[in-house]
Structures are given as C-alpha cells and as structure tokens.
Structure 1
Amino acid sequence: MSTLIVNARLVNEGREFDGDLRIEHGRIAAIGSGLQARSDEKVVDAAGRWLLPGMIDDQVHFREPGLTHKGDIASESAAAVAGGLTSFMDMPNTNPPALDAAKLESKYDLAKSRAWGNYGFYLGASNDNLEAVRTLDPKSAPGIKVFMGASTGNMLVDDPDTLDGIFREAPTPIITHCEDTPTIDRTLAEFKARYGEDGLTAEMHPDIRSREACIKSTRLALSLARKHGTRLHVLHISTADELALFQRGPLVHADGARKRITAETCVHFLRFDRADYARLGNFIKCNPAIKDASDREALIKALVEDVVDVLATDHAPHTLEEKQKPYLQAPSGLPLVQYALLAAIELVHEKRLDIARVVQKTAHAPAQLFDVAERGYLREGYWADLVLVDDEPLTVRREDVLSKCGWSPFEGTTFRSRIGATWVNGRLAWNGRELIGTPAGQRLEFAR
C-alpha cells in the first residue's frame, strides 16, 4: 500500500514549505501541492505539522556483540525510531571489536531483520591493523574510527607511526575521539592524591577529563589530516576552545567543493552543563565530559555559524546498576537516541536554532559527509525515511524508555514536541505511541 501525507509543513534543504508527499515502494514518489489521494493508498493528514527527513545518527554504541546486557541492535534501534532516528552508524568497540573486514561483516549479519532503522558499521583502528585499514572496501563502511584517547581493549591508537599510517592510507573518512590519555592520567593521579579514590565525584569529571586533554588531541588529529589531505571528522566536540581550530562555512559549497575537516557535537553538550552534575552525577558521566555553560553556549552558536557541521548522540547505554557505582567504577556514556531529536527541536522552541538548521545538522550533513546514498533528504526518488513532529508536549518517564538499560538522563524533562510518526524505507515503524510491524532497516549504501 502506498501512503499519501497531506497538509504537511515540509522542511528540506534550508526551506519550510506547505505540501504533500507520496510514498510508493519504500521511496518518495512525489512531492507537491494538492496531490490527489488514490483508492489504493493510506492518507495521513499532517494538519500543518513538520515533516522532516529522519535523523541519521553517525555515532552510536548499540553494544552488540559482546555487551548485550546493556543494549543490542534490536532494542536500541527500536528506541531510535521512536525518537525519529531512521539510520544509525555504530562504533567498532564491541566484543570482539570490528578490526577487520570479517568482523565488520559479522556485525552486518547481526543487524539483518533485527534493526528497526538503517545501519552502517565503522571499522576500528588499532596499533596493529594498518593492513585492514588500507584494504578496507570504501563501500562497506561509513568510515574508520580512531580512538586518539582512552578506549577499551586494543583500540587506543597511541603509536605515532601507526597514526601517521592510518591518516595516510585511509580509503574512507576518518572519525576520531580526541582526548589525550597522558594528560587525563596525570590529572587523575593529581585528584587521587588530593582527595583519595573514595573522595572523587562526578562533579570532578570535567576537570579530570579536561579541556586541555581535548584540545591537545584535536590539534594532533588536525595536523595529521592536513599533512596527508585526509577527510577527517572530529566527534563530540565539547569545548569552546576547540572551535577555533575548525573552518566556518557550509559543508558543501555551491561549486561542489566540501570541507575536508569537519566537526561534530552531541545533543547532551547542548542540554547539560557542569551545574547538572550535582543533580545527575554519574548519569551524565561521559567522555569527553560535559563541561561549562559557556561551552554549551559556544557550541550552539557554532551550529548556527556552520563551524560545527553535524549534531549526533554518542548513544552509549549502561545499566542502572553500573551507573550507580562510585565515580571511578561507573562507566562513561548515556542513552540518548529516543529523545535526541526532541532535545534538538527544543532549541527551536527556545529560538536558538531554526528547524531547517536542525534538519541540516541531523540529516543532510551526515548524508553528505559519509556519502550516504539516497537518504537524508525529502527528494523524489529517495528512500522514504520520514518523521512527523507533533506540537504536543512530552514528559520523559522511565517506564517509556525503550533502550534496554531502562533509563534516560532526560527523565522528568518536558519537551514541547513529540515524535508523531516515523517511517523507515516507506514503512510506518512508530505511530507516536508504539512500534508498528517488524524491523525494516536496510544496510546503508555509500556512493563512493
């Protein structure tokens, strides 16, 4: 059955306009005004509500394989489509880590018929897998993830020659986690000496995982990218200081040229700051750390000014039991996919961003940056990954969280919008209240 969405307020490529949209065979068949319903199609009256391309989240940790007590591809992608995220790109630091082509393909196999959204998986870099990096099929992954800071297992790349080789040989964009581990270790030792291990608290996290550690590592990544002409995307920028290192301007210019070095921030850096540790503690402990209110304000401004190119989540669920441990034992990361788009839209209600810019940073830019084929836009012929936004308030409750970990840092927050419907590949996956049908996610294709 085809679907006709009428009386929508479509948001696409910098414009808001009233119109209708028809879905046929999983794709957008027509966009226009006054499209006439046929007898064989379902009609959805949008009644003036926003219709957006689904969010493409290029930074998630869905925990499969190996860490599925925290989350898995099925549970976390379900939470994602409930939040208007129709495609995701998952990180390689699973167990085992995705450090070669075979392990990468095994993750794709795990997602078949289980992922509610469309999926891509990064290849990870390590100190000893340069050959796997060099020989990666660029159509098989969105990019290569390099942890230039603390990570689990064998995924901290700290050998200078290996780093140079990765930046020289990478056949896809490199994405980096930038924190300088020696700086963090030194600061942590100082805090332990001053307060004792039992005296450390989450309020100290932005000082232990310091802005200095971020800046030093980010500068190194940029220097390597400039040396080799690498396409580099720096993830989860958390400080105002780092913003000066990046170029202002659109991701893709009118002549088709695009930035070689790009920046990303995450929704939690826009909604929380240092003052929130007193209330939320380890529940907002993440790496890099949420820092000061001045950093939050600078990051919002950087989105407006096109210094920061992408807005993502870094969704990283941990169980309540794990998060309630003492500071040093509590893992870093928080579940975000179900409420990330609503948190971004809240900035529209606050008149800090406009809705077209939210769409640019959450849908268009990830599609452009990672060469995602036929997604990320409201365009005829593209896959129908769509989100209808209701202008009704939503208060986040623990019992409504779909992530396997069962909690959200936004609990008790009232957003002024809610996700009214999500379509993935033309199929209704979320009707505003519950999941519909069965998982219909597809493997993302990269037009390279």
Structure 2
Amino acid sequence: VIDAEGLTLLPGMIDPQVHFREPGAAQKEDLHSGSCAAAAGGVTSFLDMPNNAPPVITRERMAEKKQLAAEKSVVNYGFFMGATPDNLEELNAVENVCGIKIFMGSSTGDLLVDNPQVLENIFSNGSRLIAVHAEDEAVLKENTELLKHISDVRLHSRIRDESAALKATKLAVKLSLQYRRRLHILHLTTEDECDFLRGLPREHLISTEVCPQHFTLTVPECYEQLGALAQMNPPIRTKRHADALWQALKDGIIDCIATDHAPHTLAEKEQPYGKAPSGMPGVETSLALMLDRVNRRACSLQEVVFWMSTSPANLYQMQGKGRIEVGQDADLVLVDMALKKTVRNGQLHTRVNWSPYHGMELQGWPVRTIVNGQTVYMNGEVDKSVRGREICFA
C-alpha cells in the first residue's frame, strides 16, 4: 500500500526524444545515468536517438544497443534507427523500433541526409514512421560562410535561422503527403513553421513536437545568462517564436512535448563558439517545468498528461503506455503540486550534472516514480537495481 495523501497520481511521462550518448560518449551520459535522470523527472519511458559513435544504422548495432539498455536502463526504452544515404534495406528490415530518424541538417554526429533524391527514396520505400530534424543544410552552410569571421554564440540562431527550419519542414511535409508516409517533425522552433502547419489538413499523417526550452528560454537573454550552455540545434529563438510555439501547443497544432535531452560536459561547453557542442540536458526537469505552468494557470494538468504521456504513446503506437487503465502497464508517477524546489547544478542525476534552469524555483515536482509496478524513484533517490523493459510498438 502506498500512502499518496496530498499527492496526485499521473501516468508515467514519456520522453520521445533523448540522446543518452551510449555507445560512444559515456563521459556525457549513458543508458544508466540517463535513465536515472528520467526516473527522477517522472519519466517512465524514453525514445533514444541513433547519432551515437558508432551510429545506429544497422540491425546488428540496434541489437547491441537494445542489449545495453536491457542491462542498464532503470526505465522503459525504445529506439530510433538512423537513416543514411545507403541503408534503406536496414531501415525496412529492423524490428520493433519507434521510427527512422533523418537529420536533414548537420548536427551532433555524422548522420546527414541532405540529398533530395535520397530523401525521396527513403520516403517512397517502406511504411515506418519517419522523424526529421528539419534544418536545411544548404542554408546552414551559406549562413556559416557569411558569418565565419565572427565567433559569438549569439550568432547561433542567425546561422541556423528561421528560413532553414521552414524550408526543411516544407520539404519533409511535401514528401510525406506525396507518398502518404507517416511523418513526425522533431523540435519545432519557429512561428513560421507553426503558421505553415496550421494550413495543413488535420489528419493522422503528420505530427509535431516542441521542447520546453524553446518556449521557456528566449534570445538574446539566454545567451547573455548562459553562454554556450544555451546553444542547441535547432536554436533557442526570440520571444515571438516562443509565444507562438506555446500557442500552437495549446491549439493542438503541436502534438506533444519532448526534451531533446542532449548533454555535454561543462568543459566542452566552455570552448569558444564553433568548438562548443550544441545540446542541453532536460529529461529531469521537463515535468517540473510543466507542473509549474499548471500552478501558474498557464495550462491544465490534463493538458500536461496529454502532451507528455498519452499523445507520445499514441503517436508512436506504444503498447500499454500513456494512460491509467486496467490492462495498461503500471508506469505511474506521484507528483506533489505544492512542493517548491530550486533546480541546482550538482544536485541532478544526469552525468553532466548541470541544467539551463539552474537557480530557478519551480512548484510541482515528481516525488515517486513507478516503472512496471516497481518504485524506481522516491524521496530524491533512484533505486538503481530496477530495470525497465523494451517498449513494444504496434
């Protein structure tokens, strides 16, 4: 019997976009440390990206990664398969993955598919969901060349500008509609994309997500306060875009919330612009950020549960996830809506142990996380002996 007096019971949160850095960069994160951060954040299931070292682009590497997760992850896990210009056979043959990840613009790692003919070939062959990092590589290269004489992190959102995002999103949508291929657009960042998506027919072919940092942080303030800690791809933008993203989420144009948890060490982030890597941690603070918004009457608890649990489970057709019902998996989180805590670097479960929200007081926190009926997080401590299960995709 669990005494939950004064607490609120929710289905476990699902983070549909994380980079837990294993294999290849365990100094930043691995499947164990990342899953511990997830558990502490009330996240009971995650979907991890393929831009590892080596990248997960074959069935063999996928099997190896699933084995690592089975040995190490304290919460439930699923994986994307990475697309390259020449692994179409592997993409269509791999079993039980949440989707195919395409980097239309270069980011962390060396997975890039920017040739329109290759993109068309992937979209036109197969039926599995395709998730895109939508930034146009030609625009990124052109802007980088134009601004190459300036080394300042505040240029990041000018190099990776709105036009790069919109151009790539439009191309992905065109291919999705042309070939009737299920498309998920990762981490939207612009008002321009939201306006474009509003004009599309509302059918179940195309879905989208937003990261909390893209509607809670804004430029230039975030760069002035955080420097390269605020550098990510696609970038944080101005308040106009942040407000538009929040409105699109509220209006149902954006379907779910993901963190794009992509940690780098503080030492890596302290390098000059151009050398400092892009990405920030987020899986441990996303639910608290949203519960704080509920407390400030910006949204309802029901909306948060939909955006962070029910909707990702539906979009990726996860079996047994996303709701509290008889027959569903016992993935649950107890939250204390009155609890106030301040986010502190050095007090987190992610291996890099920093957050862009350091010093921010939030009201509403997960206090107990249950995965498959087992308590994995309680009173600030993770039970590192618990193991999650591989998510089954319909």
TM (norm. structure 1) is 0.85
Displacement of 1:49 in angstroms is 2.3
Q: Distance in 2 between matches of 1:68 and 1:437?
A: 17
2:170 partner amino acid: R
- Where do 1:91-110 residues align within 5 Å? 91-110=49-68
Equivalent residues in 2 for 1:232-247, closer than 5 Å: 232-247=183-198
Deviates more, 1:431-440 or 1:209-218: 431-440
Q: Does 1:134 align with 2:92?
A: yes
Which residue, 402, 427, 433 being the options, matches 2:380? 433
Cα-Cα RMSD: 1.6
The equivalences for 1:6-25 within 5 A come to: none
Aligned equivalents of 1:44 and 1:360: distance in 2?
Answer: 25
Residue of structure 2 in register with 1:210 after alignment: 161
**Structure 1: 4+ residue segments shifted above 6 A:** 248-251
Shift of 1:316: 0.3
Q: Who is 1:260 aligned against? A: 205
- Residue 73 to residue 437, structure 1, CA distance change in 2 (3 Å): closer
Could you tell me the TM-score, scaled by structure 2's length? 0.96
Aligned match of 1:224 in 132, 150, 175? 175
Contact kept, 8 Å, 1:392 with 1:418, in 2: the verdict is: yes
SS at match of 1:157: coil
Q: Residue 260 of structure 2 aligns to which amino acid in structure 1? A: D
Whichever of the two has the greater Rg, that structure is 1
Structure 1's unaligned 5+ residue stretches are 1-42, 252-257
Deviation per residue, 1:349-385 (Å, 9 max, x gap)? 2222111111101101111011100111111111111
Distance in 2, matches of 1:67 and 1:432, equals 30
Determine which of 122, 131, 143 is the counterpart of 2:80. Answer: 122
In the alignment, what sits opposite 1:14?
A: none
In the alignment, the residues of structure 2 paired with residue 445 and residue 250 of structure 1 have an alpha-carbon distance, to the nearest angstrom, of 29
1:324 matched to which residue of 2?
Answer: 270
TM-fit CA distance, 1:52: 0.9
User: Contact conserved, 1:123 with 1:141, CA < 8 A, in 2?
Assistant: yes
**Residue correspondence of structure 1 range 404-423 to structure 2 within 5 A:** 404-423=351-370
Contact 1:425 1:440 in 2 (8 A): no
- Tell me, in whole angstroms, the C-alpha distance in 1 between the residues paired with 2:68 and 2:35: 13
Contact 1:364 1:376 in 2 (8 A): yes
Give 1:368's aligned residue: 314
CA change 1:207–1:416 in 2 (3 A) is same
3-state SS, counterpart of residue 381 of structure 2: coil
In structure 1, the residue matched to 2:341 is 394
Q: Deviations over 1:399-418 (max 9, x none)?
A: 21111112111110110112
Contact 1:127 1:154 in 2 (8 A): no
Aligned residues: 392
Structure 1 Cα separation of the partners of residues 123 and 94 of structure 2: 14
- Check whether the contact 2:49–2:79 (CA below 8 A) recurs between aligned residues: yes
Instruction: Report which stretch shifted further, 341-350 or 275-284.
Output: 341-350
Q: How far does the alpha carbon of each residue in 1:218-258 deviate from its partner, in whole angstroms, 9 at most, with x for none?
A: 0000000000001000000001110122258998xxxxxx5
